[in-house]
Structure 1
Amino acid sequence: MSDGTAIEWTDATWNPVTGCTKITRGCDNCYAARFAERWRGVPGHPFENGFDLTLRPERVGQPLRWKRPRMIFVNSMSDLFHKKVPRHFIDSVFDTMEAAHWHTFQVLTKRSSPMRNYLRARYGEERGPSHIWCGVSVEDTSGVPRITHLRDSPAGVRFLSVEPLIGAVGEMDLTGIDWVIAGGESGPGARPIHLEWVREVRDQCLAQNVAFFFKQWGGLRPKSGGRELDGQEWNQFPETRLEAL
């Protein structure tokens, strides 16, 4: 767990699973894979096995020992709903999140249908705990169907990460969605982001009364292009977050 992060929309990260496999164009320049693979083969390093999927049961209880409330990005270095993560292990992660109710947890996936199926099995027809936020990535029009899977998920809070935004997303039905994050790609080989793509996302959020957060323009470094969109920073959070402040 990292108490502190450069990610603008969260306070800390927690990685009970690390490693993943690429499944969409949005994964092509994955920062987590790039970081982990630097350490492959280094004896004793946490990423000795690079970005191979690795369960880390010793980390599952970490948030319970962290007493000051935080917003925690779950598995910033993996995807909890990867097909090789056993159901019982996902259960243990959710058990911890439910018990550590003083924190806010942000679970993000590209594997939207497995997440939907899991949440339905765990919570049935009722919305899950309001301090457990579940989201899906949408990098361009190809990711838009994940929004339907998310809408059909009984998550306490539902959010989209439109990042890295590598193409226009087109029309989105944001019914039942509480929050949208957008941002450009960063790092070596970062693909360009276009102003009209970002405006399209923001304007749909404004029209449908959904909180909008613009993280970055991206570039070689995350801060290269700043965060202003049309002369201002967009730092909106869902109402549940505002109530907790």
Structure 2
Amino acid sequence: MRQEPIPKPSEPMQFRAIGLLRGRYIRSEDQLTRGHLLMEDGSKIDALILGRVISLVKNHMDLVAEHLWVVYPRTDDRTKQLQVQVMGIWEPETLQNRPPVLESNTDGTLRAVPPKSPVVSSQDLPDDYFSIRGEVVYQSGDKAQIAVKIKQVSRRDTKKSRAFKLQLQGVLEDKALHQFWDFKAQRQGDILVIQSAEFVAKMPPKRKKKKPKWTGRSGPITMPTPASGEGRSVGKPIRRDRPVTAAPSPANPADETHTP
């Protein structure tokens, strides 16, 4: 097995949104972690460098040259344009020239650790390629637009997850709403265009939230009677031989309702 930046999914319904972009990273004037990727076609993609890559970019990468960046795509809520979060750089032919990792032998000497498996060269990987896997939540044939919901599991707590929507351009022949699909997409300008799509499965039905049960006082409520002061159950109907009428109250103009 060769090491690749975008491995095959580990399970059929694994959510994913990851891609490869080749270009130059142009940092902003005030921050290293914020800037944009300048592509060969002149497109500028807003980019954010994630924490795990900052040291690598700062100390080992020549930002004047082009590199193959491993990115997480996002859709800007306001402009609907492509944004990326840089999570890695795939350039083994350059990074492997750095000093090898050393481990201690049982006798105290050091040895270099060889790579566990061959690594795919950056020159053998396609540019502007994206793998998108998730639930289709919007589909418009007229606009040729599709929105895919991606669930992102927290690294600290695997039971917690948050979701975001990624917009793709393309048309599906079938009704794909609330279905899990595997998309292969390509960047064209600042949008992702579907190259191929494969149906995976229908999404499981959402669990309905149970209504909270009323928890009141158990048993009938008793009230004292004027005659004896003993308790009488309100839960039982009161038998009356004659209709009960209320004594009329004196007229009060403040109690009247005027209809305009």
> TM-score normalised to the size of structure 1?
0.24
More helix by share: 1
Which has more radius of gyration?
2
Bigger fraction of residues in strand: 2
In the superposition, the TM-score normalised over structure 2's length comes to 0.23
